[in-house]
Structure 1
């Protein structure tokens, strides 16, 4: 894997060490997450964040273990870090950090206090909500190490305050159970029980959200580090509270071995591929319903659009086809009126997407093509044919095949945003894209051809599917080319206002990246034209992937910053989306254009923000600072897919 390591000029600087985040996951949607410096900057940061019935139903438990070292001289040095409501950062343990490494995907810190060097490693148990934190003396000593446990028990999206009840602490052998929900275990436990008031999260402040919470100082562990190699370790876990996990050092060793096996199964060609294969592993989780995909950490759960867009990269490019097969069968069972549910993150199942089901058709086709698993194709054929029938007849939100041209139209319900550009501000879509969006119809045409091939592989007649495909393709080629020299983003869109006797519809020729799918999909409706692609790239390309809108547009938003309304307004109005590097590179390759330099910026990005991973979004203007989730499934999946194909 690529080396990701930082010295004191990054670790010890709160302006740089806090902008690089690490993530360790438990395979169920829970995680541990924080910054290189150790300073918590998000409400989502913690050492034990658990998933509930769905990956999105997360709760924060153990927030931090703050080390303090008592030296032979009797001096006590605190190595933790917290920012307070006053803006003061105290303690400032990061100033003693001499190195941070990501080793086999696991974070490792090294503090130096004179001739004393102490190392911390952290890992989680895969398939169990359990974190292990190991501290090891590397040089100097003897010293005594104390670890103060700052705790809470709350929804990951909120905060807990001291004006409410204190967390319940039940003493158990070697530690305590907090709120009956998770257990702490380690050496020489001493309960305390007091509030730390006014802990501040600077990233939440920057996002226009409430930035403060109060933490419960539950108690502290302690142990002697007499000679190099000695360790002091703490475990925290949230399930099977009576069942003690393996020793913390074994948890770390097992996690390291598993990560190496994950990488080996992906058969990467180079360190970049190895890094991306391990990054992909974080998003593949197992719930009570089987395998699923977390769209992004720390705040997303499972979204069918993201899952199906990511499918090839996360499963087929990483040697996980069997898990993928199970996932596709599970999702097929949830089809309703020819549609996949978008998400249940809100607590209810929402069927509010026009494209997720079309990406599902693509995922099944790619699975059968890549693996030769025609049995799965045969099994899912009735469900896939049902998708086509439902779209021909018309389904939710006015989604239907227009009998006039065979193209899909959508968005007949006011206030809906059904494509991936689905941001709304105060209930109103920013980019409603009502009508016939370009990528939706590229996916429809691609899906019809893929399904026709699956049908023929099953020995069935696919003539009607090929007829639908040919008609939609002809209409696409006639309707979508725009006089500007690229493709319309939407055709037959309702005109916002038109004079008496004028046209009730218009064609939107804003330069957006959605058109890339018209050239990049396996059964794309158009053959790529190099001159057109260069025009598209000239307006949209950045080092981290295409922008969502050209800077020439009067609605272009250069920065994806501010409060929720400001960020959602900019979300698809110029913000960079790294996942689009997939269709961008595919289109370039099909056109015979050079692609060697298209991934350079994203490869460099692996060590910039979400360490070893790829962010959800970035600002539309230089230096294209990353925004959104630091760890995003389809960003990783699409970069992995095109990197491996190259």
Structure 2
């Protein structure tokens, strides 16, 4: 079974630098409901989104940080110490005494502890189909008798918010379960249970937990947590303790009755084996990336129909159309999961409106939003990739091709946000105030990357959509094939005339009337990487050379060349500062997939080009294995060296495109 192991400092070697390394390294478990558990390797929460159980009554809407953490205390004849260390504002006098000596992630996450009194492995497992977490303490070697206490700390609030002391928390027994409720969240509760410990009621508010990352992000950063009491057990020999916590409505007790942690572990292992068996490869890197990709795949319902979707990232994203379609090839098609890929496409197709695919589904009850000019075109690209990978001619023709035709017809005739084909057959749309491309940062009505008009990647996708239709109708419908071929010819001619910047030997990023934006950005790479290019081979090589020289880094492509006056090399600060930097130099790992494909294409997929491209992936693979969030790849990195990671700690298209790039360089 593929797993990731990280060696941590021994208990007698704790140094402030080691503590900082552990508190800045995170872990993540998720399930098919979009719920999750996450934290740092030293057990301290540094984000409002960290928690041992973050669930939802109606997935994936309104996710709730239910169980924030547990304080684990060892009491001996010589005194007491905690296994986890919390940060407060102002700082507490207590300093870390014990830190994990090892960490491993596979079906769960596992922390090794070694003290003079015992050796213990703490494991956390999240059920795949329910918001239920099992926290296992396995004391394998006990050299001295001691008391072990576990105090649950409840937040019971929306995962974007923080809680302060209030009188809304209650607890009561429901047969064998301790029920914790917050009156501000109706019809929801935490249920806790264990057969191996006794419960001591001791209701307390713990004040001013300090979340250092929230402070860096310019948000409120202190919180109060409520505890109903603590669980207690005397440990005098090898002992295995399982503490259960679930989040749900009033029917939760039925779901939690009779749970067996070993059955759950076996179920999680079986799911991993099924994912790996679909790969038909023993390459451990591919296996680990595929398992990481599973974190983002969720179950959804359309009325009574069960479908799949792809979360854009953790800890705060819901499912976004653009992200899902870019991720679909790496997470699903490359992993042999054709049925799931089809289900994702149908999920978004069902919610299409006026010939447009949803940009995102909010994690509240606001429904679908359609403010994207390219999500529908990425849908077409993903649908055709599915068709060619799966060979599902019947299903594609009857269920997906009608939606593709609807999108193309709507773009030709005009649809939402002024999106339409101009007289030159290129797609234009939006206004200065509507951010419709993936470079959509906007704060307090300040638009940082205005790209209304004709965006280069949008029209590269448009050309590919039409060319795919040409190929589809060849041999099936000569009239339609010719109609799409004529349209493709007009688009190609207009594309080169509109976007090719002869003096710079690259493509304009966006054209709006006579205004041609010559900023060197990565969006032009899609005019080479996509299956059909409107450029000749010399132009394709020139684009790749330009992007490589100005934008390529160890962790992906910069969003703007460093020599540009608008370039911002560090993604830091409050919301306004971060949004300003988001697409003005910040590195995005997902772009490495398109760059790798374009680079290999213009180099005829030579052995040397594959070797070079594979070497360029190594820093991202090291990041995946050893830093930020173990087994995940961050959303962004700084444009400047040393390219510190930032934003979401686990991003679907980062994993997907690194996996796709890895396969391109290793086949």
Aligned to 1:557: 568
5 Å matches for 1:43-192? Answer: 43-71=48-76, 73=77, 75-88=79-92, 90=94, 92=96, 95-102=98-105, 104-141=106-143, 142-162=145-165, 164-179=166-181, 180-186=188-194, 187-192=197-202
Q: SS at 1:392's partner residue?
A: helix
Residue aligning to 2:289: 276
In the alignment, the residues of structure 2 paired with residue 60 and residue 459 of structure 1 have an alpha-carbon distance, to the nearest angstrom, of: 54
For 2:531, the equivalent position in structure 1 comes to: 522
CA shift for structure 1 position 252: 3.4
Map of 1:381 onto structure 2? 401
> Which stretch of structure 1 is more off in the superposition, 628-637 or 191-200?
191-200
Indicate which of 301, 308, 313 corresponds to 2:318: 301
Aligned equivalents of 1:134 and 1:250: distance in 2?
A: 14
1:405-484 aligned at under 5 Å gives the runs 405-411=424-430, 413-456=431-474, 459=477, 461-482=480-501, 483-484=503-504
In 2, the alpha carbon distance for the partners of 1:11 and 1:296 equals 33
- 1:80 CA drift (Å): 2.0
Residue 335 of structure 1: SS of its match in structure 2?
coil
Contact 2:623 2:633 in 1 (8 A): yes
Provide Cα deviations, 1:346-402, integer angstroms capped at 9, x if missing partner. 624211000000000001100000010111221122221111111111111111111
**Other-structure match for 1:21:** 26
Q: CA deviation at 1:246?
A: 1.7
Shift of 1:598: 1.9
Q: Is the 8 A contact 1:358 1:444 kept in 2?
A: yes
Distance 2:136 2:14 in 1: 19
2:602 is the alignment partner of 1:582:
no
Query: For each residue in 1:59-91, what CA deviation from the matched residue of structure 2 results, as whole angstroms up to 9, or x when unmatched?
Result: 0001112211233x3632211221111033746
Task: Indicate if the aligned counterparts of 2:3 and 2:104 stay in contact, CA closer than 8 A.
Answer: no
Whether 2:268 is the aligned partner of 1:266: answer: no
Asked if structure 2 preserves the Cα contact closer than 8 Å seen for 1:154 and 1:160, the reply is yes
- Verify: 1:198 aligned to 2:198, yes or no: no
Quick check: 1:79–1:91 contact (8 Å CA) kept in 2? no
Number of corresponding residues = 628
Change in Cα spacing, 1:283 to 1:554, as seen in structure 2 (3 Å) is: same
Question: In 2 relative to 1, CA 463–269 (structure 1 residues): closer, same or farther, beyond 3 Å?
Answer: farther
Tell me how far apart the structure 2 counterparts of residues 581 and 89 of structure 1 sit (CA, whole Å): 45
Q: TM-score if structure 1 supplies the norm length?
A: 0.93
CA distance in 1, matches of 2:587, 2:527: 19
Structure 1 gaps of 5+ residues are 495-504
Match of 1:146, SS state, is strand
Q: CA shift at 1:182, angstroms?
A: 2.1
**2:358 aligned residue:** 341
Partner of 2:606: none
What is the rounded CA distance, in whole Å, between the counterparts of 2:315 and 2:268 in structure 1? 20
Q: Which residue of 1 aligns with 2:617?
A: 599
Q: Is the 8 A contact 1:365 1:451 kept in 2?
A: no
Q: Distance in 2 between matches of 1:175 and 1:11?
A: 38
In structure 2, the gaps of 5 or more residues are 182-187, 604-608
Q: Does 1:390 align with 2:410?
A: yes
| Cα offset, 1:563, TM superposition | 0.2
What TM-score does the superposition give when structure 2 sets the normalisation length? 0.91
Distance across 1 between alignment mates of 2:572 and 2:476 = 51
In 2, the alpha carbon distance for the partners of 1:272 and 1:374 equals 32
Instruction: Give the whole-Å Cα distance in 1 for the aligned partners of 2:407 and 2:52.
Output: 43
Give yes or no for the alignment of 1:400 onto 2:411. Answer: no
Please, what is the CA RMSD of the aligned residues? 1.9
Decide whether the 8 Å contact of 1:11 with 1:17 is kept in 2. no
Once residues 367 and 131 of structure 1 are traced to their aligned partners in structure 2, the CA distance between those partners, rounded to angstroms, is: 35
SS at match of 1:82: coil
The equivalent of 1:500 in structure 2 is none
Contact 2:107 2:125 in 1 (8 A): no
Alpha-carbon distance in 2 for matches of 1:90, 1:278 = 38
Deviates most, 454-463 or 359-368: 454-463
Q: Encode CA deviations 1:427-465: one digit per residue, 9 max, x unaligned.
A: 232112111111000000011111232334755632211
Contact kept, 8 Å, 1:378 with 1:458, in 2: the verdict is no
Contact map agreement 2:457 2:527 (CA 8 A) in 1:
yes
Deviates more, 1:613-622 or 1:244-253: 244-253
8 Å contact kept, 1:268–1:277: no
Equivalent in the alignment of 2:339: 322
| Superposition deviation, residue 11 in structure 1 | 8.0
Matched residue of 2:46: which SS? coil
